[in-house]
Amino acid sequence: MHVETSPTRTDDLDEAVALFVRHRGRLFGIAYRILGSAVEAEDVVQEVWLRWQKADRSAVVSPVAFLSTATTRLAINVAQSARVRRETYIGPWLPEPVDTSADPEIGAERAEAVELALLLVLERLTPVERAAYVLREAFDYAYAEIARMLELSVANVRKIVSRARRHLLAERRESVDAAEHRRLLSAFVAAARSGDVASLEALLAPDVVSLSDGNGTRGCARVPVLGRARVARLCVHRRFWREAEPEFVDANGSTGVVVRRDGRPLAFLTAAAAKDGIHQLLWVFAPDKLAAVTGPRPGGYGRRWAAGSSAAVCRG
């Protein structure tokens, strides 16, 4: 039996798709900052699309508020369950790096709360605290808007954001500028590849810490490595650097390094540096976390919702 498609319904769906695609970058940015995972953030945004598709959109006063609220609440739920899952994680857990040159929308309106080192610090906050901080500092939502999203009082949201700021300030050092950061990372890679321990030590702060996320990957340190001498010796591992090809990338709004061998990604590296040198090295070896910074994403994150006709989008 032939059933004609209602022009009104089709037009409405086309408009819904266009609006969702227009704000998708912001939604992904919110979810990624709360979760520290591109894969989980994409899943959240996909679920938000399904909810937006099924919603009575004629009754929605503010589509942007609807989408942002749904994204925030879903991300908080995922973050709460992720905490339980990470209890069985082998070794340090680090946020999943993302290639911000491939999709600048990941950075959304501000770069705040997208650097890997800061995302790691944000993990020490509760999911609700993290969400409040992200919405305020990275996306400039008003306190009243955040209160509605989180179903809290405005006074409570102000306290949460203020407490989160104090916590982050206590944990963070004053960073060097982008050019100096890239110089230090370049010098570090050159010294590590050549096995120059003395030059490495000169680049490192006395209290430097190296964290390796491998979730059981063979040869990956399962505990933090502390101190200039120990970190320098660890990083000149000849077997790791043999025939390795480092590639500098723009990851999480900063310079990072993808290390490949025979074209296959082995690891991702980035660092946090202050005036006294590199004080934190972040290595990601877990294969499932490397895809977001090494895999081909010609259309950027989450573009499957924008591809093709409205019918294709509806099928997800």
Residue type, 251: A
Neighbours of 255 (CB within 10 A): 19
pLDDT at 5: 40
pLDDT tens-place string over residues 221-256: 899 999 999 999 999 988 899 999 999 999 998 899
In angstroms, rounded to a whole number, what is the distance separating the alpha carbons of residues 268 and 262?
15
**C-beta separation of 44 from 31 below 8 A:** yes
In angstroms, rounded to a whole number, what is the distance separating the alpha carbons of residues 65 and 60?
9
The SS3 assignment for 277 reads strand
In angstroms, rounded to a whole number, what is the distance separating the alpha carbons of residues 308 and 179?
41
pLDDT at 13: 84
**C-beta separation of 306 from 313 below 8 A:** yes
pLDDT at 231: 96
Looking up tokens 């610090």, which residue turns up? 121
- Of 219-223, 253-257, 290-294, the least confident: 290-294
- Of 101-105, 139-143, 225-229, 281-285, the least confident: 101-105
Please list, in sequence order, all residues whose beta carbon lies within 8 angstroms of the beta carbon of residue 266, skipping any fewer than 6 positions away.
240, 244, 259, 260, 285
pLDDT exceeds 90 at position 162: yes
User: How does residue 311 score in pLDDT terms, banded at 50, 70 and 90?
Assistant: very low
Q: Using only the alpha carbons of the chain, give its radius of gyration.
A: 21
**C-beta separation of 66 from 48 below 8 A:** no
pLDDT tens-place string over residues 168-213: 888 888 889 999 999 999 999 999 999 999 999 999 999 999 999 9
Phi-psi region of 253 (alpha: psi -120 to 50; beta: other; left: phi over 0): left
